Structure 1
């Protein structure tokens, strides 16, 4: 039995957690007690862009934005039913041949409805874009602007995909997707993917994805090369492969053991560290993937609420598939130079609904 004390909306003597429900597809939950429902709703994310070009010019593919997230405390009676309609993530992109440039896709919104005219919505993340022969391209916006909920509701916009500026010459640049703002960081930038502003005319850059605790690493100045993914404990390093730490500031992908032990009650692990650039590992909970070159990342998995990274195929040999993002997080963009086939870009992260029912004591 787990007790909660002094949480906004719960009386001063606390409460007992009676049930945890996690929905990854649309459905309904029924309150087993009279008391409070702690609600988390995270909208789905957009998908990243892809470009596979032989052109002797800039080739850019940006990552998608994460979905908006909301938290609420709702008064409930035993038997109250709440319906969660989870919007679809931005559809992934199929494998494409030489000469194809394709934007990603936007995600749909998610809604929760219940008794006493209760209604809450969160907005899905937006697509990444593909471009050639231009100096800049923006990542997909994070979801923002949802409505409804009680007077206690807290909502935070999704992190945006990585932006590209100052691209020159024959630069090939792919940015990561945005992470979910589950910790209430600043606007759409606190959990964004890494940006690229390098002026290197032959740069090959893939930036890391965003995570609940920070942003992916940026590539700046005249440099080239990839950057790491963010972690639950902070940003990835700029102009380096180093990933962001876990929630306790440790440079490891694993979530702290004491936090993991509590997840039997609270459900979602998003407290791990990110993956370094060029690393083929899977991330821990809350860890974003790092940018990669010349190796398909299609088998990599980002942590919950964390994004996949940009991937660049420089040699034209093989493919540059992107990794799979966590719940509600954006997928990264992929760039190839005359690859026979550019591997698929995964869909954006799926929407998520969590309800914790509490009997007040």
Structure 2
């Protein structure tokens, strides 16, 4: 994104050299070889201010040639299915951008891809999250079908500029939830099984081996602990087995270590569980034929009244009231999602 932002500054008639020097980044190419994430986010923050662009990440991501992602693009494109491509995004995106962590998880209601920019400043986090969410959406559309649409999208930062927010919703073709717990895109779950026309098993095996080496050289594990906890929690929810002990065991650590490491990320186990339940609940409630009692079970509640209490805390209304209000609202941005048919 640094190289793309430099080009945007030049097109705007601004000299990028002072901003690069201020961030201690090299002025000469290849900028994409730079791996000092703190320096990158400092430059991106300064560039957004210089351009007076509150949606720099979105604008930069909207129109660049995706092949500029280099081998990372071909790693995803050579995957057998869309689900495999997004799993590769989760595993290997830090090799492309050290400031980023990815998460891909599949539930009964959605295939969710999330990004986490860690300890970056608020401005840089907003810029990077927007850039990668738009890039993800464009990647899915280029690999599956241009008309593919998400069923939901959210950004952790608040809505700031009506014009920018409108542009983003037009691009995503779905209403975006601002001020959310997570930066993510939700697709219909069947997207995971769509076969990619660009599937190349030989190229894919070579690129996976290449990126595995890069990950090993950079210290191994690439996903944020919060993302790993959510991924472990999701299949356990309907069975009511989401406990600190069970998740710690799934992640290969003690409960004490899990709690300590979550605290280091300024997270708690109970808050992550509550945010996951709230997120899934808002998906489940949109399914008219799904009884509230079954939603309660899917979320791991064993007392039917528990979901009513939780829903009032999340939304200020009961599940029935929220469903009635939501289904009555006009959905000018919501359209059926279309996927490319798998090759026979």
Using the size of structure 1 for normalisation, the TM-score is: 0.25
Bigger share in helix: 2
More strand by share: 1
TM-score w.r.t. the length of structure 2 is: 0.26
The structure with higher relative contact order (CA 8 Å, sep 6+) is: 1
